[in-house]
Amino acid sequence: MSDAGEHLDDLEVLPPRFFARNALAVARDLLGCRLVSRIGKERVGGVITETEAYAGVLDRACHAHAFHRSARNESMYARPGTAYVYLIYGLHNCLNVSCLALDRPHAVLIRAISPRWGVETMARRRGMPSVIRGEVNPSLCDGPGKLCQALGVDREADGLFLPGADGGLFLARSATSGDYVASPRVGIESSGEFAALPWRFVATESHYR
């Protein structure tokens, strides 16, 4: 029973208080939630299937480790629910949401979504076919850089307050609850003991199918 027919106008936007918690809680609870972009003319988006928590000043892998603060990560210090978008490897954007509180800079990286709305538009932005062998192309949004490209998210979106109704980007409640698997975060091998912590969360099928 797929709920692919659910209408974008019926989605319940996540309120500011959803984000006023530590990154581990927010990262787990974002699984199954909807991420929608109306950057550009069409609305596109899907269901969040993978997140990572970056849990503040003690977390060596976090951009705000040891209270590091610069023009790049200023959004981590903004009110909870603020988009933090940065460029990685000179090529790809990564979309995060700030959480916890002003002086406690946590963030959740959204690593993957399951495409649901505007699949053709996302495929065009990604430069690949929307359908492969009768199924939605699985590589449209299954990575942090890929989903930003598909949703049209770049550093213009940095600093957007996602619970605000006027933005081109928002998060909305999950229609279902589901299970997840936790594992170490990706690409942070140089972060010492923090590299092994299971702060990456991947939704199981129960979330969205």
Partner DNA sequence: CTTCAGATGCTCT
Partner DNA sequence: GAGCATCTGAAGA
Contact residues for DNA (CB under 7 A)? Answer: 52, 54, 61-63, 68, 70-73, 84, 87-92, 94, 96, 107, 109, 126, 128, 139, 143-147, 185-188, 190
Smallest separation, CB 23 to DNA (Å): 9
CB of 24 to DNA, least distance (A): 14
- Which lies closer to DNA via its Cβ, residue 11 or residue 100? 100
Q: What is the DSSP string of the chain?
A: ---TT--GGG--BPPGGGGSS-HHHHHHHHTT-EEEE-SSSS-EEEEEEEEEEE-STT-TTSTTGGG---TTTGGGGSSTTBEEEEEETTTEEEEEEEEEETTEEEEEEEEEEEEEE-HHHHHHHHTS-SEETTEE-TTSSSSHHHHHHHHT--GGGTT-BTTSTTSSEEEE--SS---EEEEPPTT-TTSGGGGGS--EEEE-GGGT-
- Give 148 or 172: the residue with its C-beta nearer to DNA: 148
In the complex, least distance from residue 75 CB atom to DNA, rounded to whole angstroms:
10
Least separation in angstroms between CB 141 and DNA: 9
